[in-house]
């Protein structure tokens, strides 16, 4: 009889109602893998897309959760150098070197980029199995909830702003979805880069919180057309960079908010993926449109060490028990969030 654990699982795609907390076999680590006793796992919009059935490679029944922190419980063959009992946070990316496109020829099967909790079983459980090479030790005294809340969102925002958009001191940047996990990380990263930060969020309370996080000017999407307000507040110049994770619903406004030679970097599409692009605006203003996904192992470790050092502060709206996993899906899907939801077994 296999040892059993509690996990938040779904066996069919659909709404939050498909998520159930039930008993599942405790996973065993394979070659190069370790098993973690999960202490905290954070929700992301990715978990909603996976639950709805966006990726076709999702293993079923499925345990979501890309962001996790915990204690190394057991090591598999070839992972003997990982000390059992070490507190770790997990890099969610698998095979990021796929983006280097250094293929070995048509006869070789090149493994694609994947994400833990999307293409594999994730951390919404008492135990999870991950590659040993994806571990980063958590400093003594640093909360597991904060470590779990930081991973995916900070590496996503770091790569998008620092690596892809090349934000420089003195530039201006507009961040959409600023009250979400990636958005709250992006505000802090842009501020540290020396940029003037414009932000878009929804509701008076979120506007106040985003300003407190370091944004210079914050627009309430329920009250104003942010692209017109940016145009006015930049004296008809526009911003140097737009970082968008919202997608279809506001894509045209993001383009209009850019200055001549501006850069739009996208790493999400929470309202849909079919953004309408006015091509004349792109070539006339000589705009750059950049894509960005997650980040390299080096970028993950770089930004997480800044989190550990207190330079950046992961924003957590609520820490919830694993038994409330369905409610966590409902809250995140409702859109009235500021920061992250974290589940603890």
DSSP characters for 76-136?
-TT-TTSPTT-EEEE--EE-GGGGG-----TTS-PPPPEETTTTS--SSBSEEEEEGGGEE
Cis peptide bond N-terminal to 211, omega within 30: no
**Counting every residue, how long is the chain?**
345
Residue 88 lies in a domain: yes
Q: Domain check: are 107 and 147 in the same one?
A: yes
Enter the DSSP assignment of 161: I
The position carrying tokens 């038994």 is 323
Residues 131 and 234 grouped into a single domain: no
Q: Which of 246, 269, 291 is a domain's end point? A: 291
The reply to whether 109 and 211 lie within a common domain is no
Is the distance from CB of 277 to CB of 300 less than 8 angstroms?
A: no
Q: Angle at Cα 124 formed by Cα 335 and Cα 57, nearest 5°?
A: 85
User: How far lies 2's CA from each of 33, 100, 123, 125, 293, in Å?
Assistant: 19, 41, 19, 16, 37
In angstroms, the CA 206 to CA 9 distance is: 31
Domain boundary among 249, 274, 291: 291
Strand pairing class (217-220; 114-115): unpaired
Residues 299 and 283 in one domain: no
Name the pairing type of β-strands 87-90 and 135-137: antiparallel
Same domain, 203 and 275: yes
Longest CA span, the chain: 70
Cα dihedral angle (20, 25, 29, 30), rounded to 10 degrees?
-100
CA gap 131, 76 in Å, rounded: 9
| Tokens matching residue 183 | 């958005």
Write out the DSSP string of 184-252.
HHHHHHHHHTT-EEEEEESSHHHHHHHHHHT-SEEEETTTS-HHHHHHHHTTT--EEEEEESS-TTTHH
Structural domain includes residue 39: yes
For the chain, how far is it from start to end, CA to CA, in angstroms? 22
Least Cα distance to 340 among 141, 138, 156, 115 occurs for: 156
Residue 160 domain flag: no
Residue 177 near residue 245, CB atoms below 8 Å: yes
**Helix, strand or coil for residue 10?**
strand
Domain assignment present for residue 158? The answer is no
- How far lies 40's CA from each of 10, 149, 237, 338, in Å? 19, 8, 44, 18
Q: What is the pLDDT of residue 105?
A: 82
Considering only CA atoms, which of 86, 138, 152, 72 is closest in space to residue 308? 138
Helix (H) or strand (E) holding 319: strand 316-321
Q: Identify whether the C-beta of residue 87 lies closer than 8 Å to the C-beta of residue 144.
A: yes
Structure tokens, 166: 């090349």
Domain end among 254, 270, 291: 291
Mean pLDDT by 10 residues, the chain (345 residues): 93 97 97 98 96 85 97 97 97 92 78 92 98 98 98 98 98 97 98 98 96 97 96 97 96 98 96 93 97 97 98 98 98 90 97
**Domain-located, residue 208:** yes
Range of the domain at 73: 4-151+295-344
Residues 271 and 338 reside in one and the same domain: no
- Paired with 24 in beta bridges are 5
Report the CATH number at residue 93: 3.90.180.10
Quote the Cα angle for 270-273-279, to 5°. Answer: 125
Q: Considering the domain boundaries, does residue 159 fall inside one?
A: no
Q: Say whether both 230 and 285 belong to one domain.
A: yes
Please count the structural domains in the chain: 2
- How far is it, in rounded angstroms, from Cα 132 to Cα 90? 9
C-alpha to C-alpha distance for 312 and 161, rounded to whole angstroms: 15
């Amino acid at each position: 009889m296999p040892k059993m654990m509690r996990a938040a699982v779904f066996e069919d795609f659909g709404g939050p109602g498909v998520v159930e907390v039930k008993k599942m076999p405790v996973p065993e680590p394979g070659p190069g893998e370790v098993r973690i006793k999960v202490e905290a796992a954070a929700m992301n919009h990715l978990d909603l897309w996976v639950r709805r059935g966006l990726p076709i490679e999702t293993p079923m029944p499925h345990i979501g959760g890309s962001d996790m922190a915990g204690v190394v419980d057991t090591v598999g063959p070839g992972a003997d150098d990982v000390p059992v009992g070490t507190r770790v946070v997990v890099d969610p990316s698998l095979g990021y070197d796929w983006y280097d496109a250094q293929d070995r020829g048509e006869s070789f099967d090149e493994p694609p980029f994947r994400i833990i909790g999307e293409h594999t079983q994730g951390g919404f459980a008492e135990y999870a199995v991950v590659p040993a090479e994806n571990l980063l030790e958590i400093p003594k005294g640093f909360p597991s909830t904060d470590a779990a809340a930081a991973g995916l969102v900070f590496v996503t925002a770091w790569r998008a702003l620092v690596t892809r958009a090349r934000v420089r001191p003195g530039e201006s940047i507009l961040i959409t979805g600023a009250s979400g996990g990636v958005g709250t990380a992006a505000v802090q990263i842009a501020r540290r880069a020396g940029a003037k930060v414009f932000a878009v969020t929804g509701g008076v309370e979120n506007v106040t919180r985003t300003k407190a996080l370091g944004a210079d000017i914050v627009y309430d999407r329920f009250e104003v057309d942010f692209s017109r307000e940016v145009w006015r507040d930049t004296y008809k110049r526009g911003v140097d960079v737009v970082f968008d994770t919202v997608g279809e619903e506001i894509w045209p406004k993001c383009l209009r908010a850019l200055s001549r030679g501006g850069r739009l970097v996208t790493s999400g599409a929470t309202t849909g993926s079919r953004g309408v692009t006015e091509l004349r605006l792109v070539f006339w203003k000589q705009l750059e449109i950049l894509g960005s996904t997650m980040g390299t192992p080096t970028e993950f470790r770089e930004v997480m060490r800044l989190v550990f050092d207190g330079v950046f502060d992961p924003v957590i709206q609520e820490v919830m028990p694993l038994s409330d996993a369905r409610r966590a899906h409902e809250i995140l899907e409702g859109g009235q969030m500021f920061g992250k939801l974290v589940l603890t077994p």
